[in-house]
Amino acid sequence: MKFDIKRVLVIANLAKPRAERITEDIRTYLGNQGIEVVVFGFRGKTADPQLDHFDLAVSLGGDGTVLYSSRVVHKRDIPILPVNLGDFGFITEVTDDEWSDVFERYRSGLIAAGPRLLIDVCVDRGGERVGQYVGLNDAVISAGGISKLIKLSVDLREATLGRYRADGMIVATPTGSTAYSAAAGGPILHPEMDAMILNPICPFTLSHRPIVLPPEEVITITVESAQRTSILITVDGQSELSLQSGDRITVRRSQHRAYIIRSNKRSFYEVLRSKLNWSGGPDA
């Protein structure tokens, strides 16, 4: 199935050294083919761009730029071509010299945009909604102080998991399973799976282990009283809110998805092996 691409949105993190040059390369390459290119460049935090109809979004930056881009375009189901200009690039595994080849392969129908689960995160306080976010990677509840345990209770739709004393709690998507959740001992899932990971951070009770939950599950986390430190929730490392005792955080699968185009030059497992240095040698 070929895709008729007429308008492309380029979301460029101009703090990256090569971003302006690659942006101009994209503008020239696509413009010569009669494709309209709209560029939204930013440095640091910025207001979201106003969206019209676009057939494709190109993310120029690192994984953080893809997370931002997914939040911007998710309601319109616009596929994202992520081009890596950062250091690590787990989601953005397309290099800056591959983008045109990947674009042509996608337009010709040789590769597809894989669906990624998004999470909706709501924070309610005293019957009032004080925060609402969308995440591609994770929602993290953590202490604002140093080396302080926090107390949380966790409920699912039909069960209570109980009380957790821990450094925090991560609810991660399969895309986010290779991020903070992996560093906290969570499992790595294929990014196009439908599931959520509930992962306590350094729990006081060692029997509290990460749990992989089905996508239809609804997770409710309550901040208990008598905390010894301030508490924050962070979504995708970009949206942050201070929490109070009694706050209820609800995490569920979003009705929307992110659609990420990946190069067919390497599989997800090859990216894992390369990025995580699974060589089996002395540096593994």
* Distance of alpha carbon 115 from alpha carbon 162, whole angstroms: 33
Give 10-residue mean pLDDT values along the chain (284 residues): 91 93 96 96 83 93 94 93 82 88 95 96 97 98 86 95 95 96 96 97 91 98 93 96 97 97 82 75 57
pLDDT at 279: 66
Q: Which of 4, 25, 52, 63 is catalytic?
A: 63
Q: Is 55 a catalytic residue?
A: no
pLDDT at 88: 64
> What's the pTM?
0.92
Tell the burial category of 169 from Cβ atoms under 10 Å away from its Cβ (0-12, 13-18, 19+). buried
Domains of the chain: residue spans and CATH: 7-111+262-275 (3.40.50.10330), 118-255 (2.60.200.30)
pLDDT at 31: 96
pLDDT at 38: 95
pLDDT at 283: 57
Under a CB-based contact definition with an 8 Å cutoff, are residues 197 and 181 in contact? yes
